[in-house]
Amino acid sequence: MATKAAPAGRILVVEDEASISEPFAEALRRAGEERDRRAAAAAAPLLTKSGLMVGLGETRSEIRTTLRDLRGVGVDIVTIGQYLSPSRKHLGVEKYYTPEEFASLRSFALGLGFGHVESGPLVRSSFHAEEQVPR
């Protein structure tokens, strides 16, 4: 199961100022429960995955809060990439993150217990997808 998240609710609907919306969190929780059920039954594993696009004016604190919330509802894999405006009609880029900043976000996310983290300027949700799941 793959989803997309926006740091601290900037794009997603936010309830009670949570960083991810409750319907989104509930869907991730249910996927985590299914993953656990399959593991207990020795069935094929179910992994949950979410992705963040950064560079829209979010703070590092908002990114970290979103990562904590995603891990807190059981997300296994996370991707973090640079938002790139597709045209002048779309939202502009507020900040271009450096490779070092992406490496720092990756380290932070791994420290939270994500099983796999892809973090870099050109990372998209399918980036190195074949490496994200155990064989």
Q: What is the CATH number of the domain that holds 96?
A: 3.30.750
| Residue 40 is assigned to a structural domain of this protein | yes
| Residue closest to 68 by CA, chosen among 18, 14, 1 | 18
Using CA atoms, how far residue 98 sits from 11, 63, 80, 101, 104, in Å, is 23, 15, 12, 5, 10
Count the neighbouring beta carbons within 10 Å of the beta carbon of residue 55: 18
DSSP state of 51: E
> What is the tens place of the pLDDT at every residue in 75-100?
999 999 999 988 888 888 999 999 99
Q: How many domains does the chain have?
A: 1
| Residue 135 is assigned to a structural domain of this protein | no
| Residue 115 is assigned to a structural domain of this protein | yes
Domain that holds residue 110: 2-130
Please tell me the pTM assigned to this model: 0.69
Return the pLDDT at 70: 92
